[in-house]
């Protein structure tokens, strides 16, 4: 019997869904993307109406798989969802407030629509679970590390999909740059993550659409001290008001910035491109050299000018092959969901 998996991919700016027939390689039956600029629990219930309309003439799913951005300190392996998993996911919302609550709302909405159907959590952090200590440990007192403060890494399902697609063509030293609304760069040695640009949360590393990426922590201290910003205001600044949107004063959408003639839009683009090159160079250092760089994600796959800028910025790296491959997170979700049921 062919399994039918509904993959739900809740991101920071969209909700992707795909219904897959899985008997070997997953086959997409129907799928789509719902833009979600304002996300809350009520929205996710409404989104399920849209998804069910799209699925009406297709087989009923036998399992539902969810992309979960942050598994927290206790969840680093894809697994069936039960009460204990939900409790850990609720606690992990402290690490990923942009994504965690929306994912939980989606799980509860799916449970209400498909009572008793198995649901599977596919953690973006799982791919990075075995980071070496030199990459995983953050430079803070050990007392805080005990509560789970460390580097987790994200876009793991995207990285898994690139490793799977490369197959026997995968080199031992691979860098994957997932460039979308969120962006990260990962060093992969012999198929395993050994370093990555994002840290405790999905806010660090590469400058992103609305997120700062890496920033001098003194900037936040200054703004707290001199501008009176509290924790909530700093969180909004770091995750929603910065990055390319903050620099340009226009948008974090690369398509909008490319179409603009404003100097600040051009600056935001150049800063993003430089940030990707710098993070890639850091991952090359962790690998001791690199044989291939894969660009993926919405910008990585579709914005040719960004690709050209990265090729030029990394032209000094000897023997570096640069490829563009699609991020197939939903396929990974479908594969894991079926494997765990």
Binding residues for substrate: 67
Q: What integer is the mean pLDDT of 255-283? A: 98
- 269-275 long-range CB contacts below 8 Å, 24 or more apart? 269/244, 269/306, 270/309, 271/207, 271/244, 271/247, 272/183, 272/206, 272/207, 272/208, 272/243, 272/244, 272/306, 273/306, 273/309, 273/310, 273/313, 274/313, 275/206, 275/207, 275/213
Binding residues: 9, 16, 67, 178-182, 253-255, 298-302, 329
Instruction: Note the pLDDT of residue 8.
Output: 95
The active-site residue out of 43, 124, 239, 330 is: 124
Binding residues for Mg(2+): 9, 329
Instruction: Note the pLDDT of residue 68.
Output: 95
CATH numbers and ranges of domains, the chain = 3-150+329-339 (3.30.420.40), 168-324 (3.30.420.40)
pLDDT digits (tens, 9 = 90+) for 321-340: 999 999 999 999 999 999 99
Does the global pTM surpass 0.85?
yes
Instruction: Note the pLDDT of residue 140.
Output: 94
Residue with tokens 């990962």: 186
Instruction: Note the pLDDT of residue 260.
Output: 98
pLDDT digits (tens, 9 = 90+) for 182-228: 999 999 999 999 999 999 999 999 999 999 999 999 999 999 999 99
pLDDT digits (tens, 9 = 90+) for 33-64: 988 764 444 456 678 888 999 999 999 999 99
pLDDT digits (tens, 9 = 90+) for 106-140: 999 999 999 999 999 999 999 999 999 999 999 99
Q: Where does the pLDDT of residue 97 fall: very low under 50, low under 70, confident under 90, or very high at 90 and above? A: confident
Rg over alpha carbons for the chain, rounded to the nearest Å, is: 20
Q: What integer is the mean pLDDT of 71-87? A: 95
Contact (CB, 8 A) for 68 and 83: no
Instruction: Note the pLDDT of residue 317.
Output: 97
pLDDT digits (tens, 9 = 90+) for 288-319: 999 999 999 999 999 999 999 999 999 999 99
Q: Please report which helix (H) or strand (E) contains residue 149, including its range.
A: none
Which of these, 175, 237, 177, lies nearest to 205 by C-alpha position? 177
Residue 23 annotated among the catalytic residues of the structure: no
Q: Name the percent of the chain lying above pLDDT 90.
A: 87
Instruction: Note the pLDDT of residue 84.
Output: 96
Q: What integer is the mean pLDDT of 72-96? A: 93
Instruction: Note the pLDDT of residue 267.
Output: 98
**CA contacts within 13 A on the Cβ side of 146:** 3
Q: What is the mean pLDDT of the chain?
A: 94
């Amino acid at each position: 019997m062919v399994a039918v998996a509904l993959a739900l991919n809740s991101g920071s700016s969209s909700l992707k869904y795909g219904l897959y027939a899985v008997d070997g390689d997953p086959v997409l039956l129907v799928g789509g993307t719902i833009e979600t600029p304002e996300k809350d629990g009520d929205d996710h219930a409404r989104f399920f109406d849209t998804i069910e309309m799209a699925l009406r003439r297709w087989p009923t799913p036998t399992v539902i798989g969810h992309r979960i951005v942050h598994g927290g300190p206790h969840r680093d392996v894809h697994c069936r969802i039960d009460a204990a998993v939900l409790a850990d996911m609720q606690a992990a919302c402290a690490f990923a407030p942009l994504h965690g609550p929306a994912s939980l709302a989606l799980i509860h909405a799916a449970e209400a629509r498909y009572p008793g159907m198995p649901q599977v959590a596919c953690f973006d952090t799982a791919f990075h679970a075995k980071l070496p200590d030199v990459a995983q440990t953050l430079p803070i007192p050990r007392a805080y590390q005990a509560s789970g403060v460390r580097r987790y890494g994200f876009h793991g399902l995207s990285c898994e999909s690139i490793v799977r697609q490369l197959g026997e063509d995968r080199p031992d030293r691979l860098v994957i740059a997932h460039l979308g609304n969120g962006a990260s760069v990962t060093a992969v040695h012999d198929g395993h993550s050994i370093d990555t640009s994002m840290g405790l949360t999905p806010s660090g590393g590469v400058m992103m659409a609305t997120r700062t990426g890496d920033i001098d922590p003194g900037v936040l201290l200054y703004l707290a001290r001199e501008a009176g910003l509290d924790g909530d205001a700093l969180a909004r600044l770091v995750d929603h008001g910065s990055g390319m949107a903050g620099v340009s004063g226009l948008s974090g959408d690369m398509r909008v910035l490319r179409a603009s003639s404003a100097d600040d839009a051009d600056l935001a683009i150049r800063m993003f491109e430089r940030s990707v090159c710098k993070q890639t160079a850091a991952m090359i250092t962790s690998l001791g050299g690199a044989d291939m760089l894969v660009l993926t994600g919405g910008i990585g796959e579709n914005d040719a000018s960004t690709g050209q800028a990265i090729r030029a910025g990394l032209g000094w790296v000897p023997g570096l092959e640069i490829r563009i491959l699609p991020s197939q997170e939903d396929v990974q979700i479908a594969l894991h969901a079926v494997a765990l049921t």
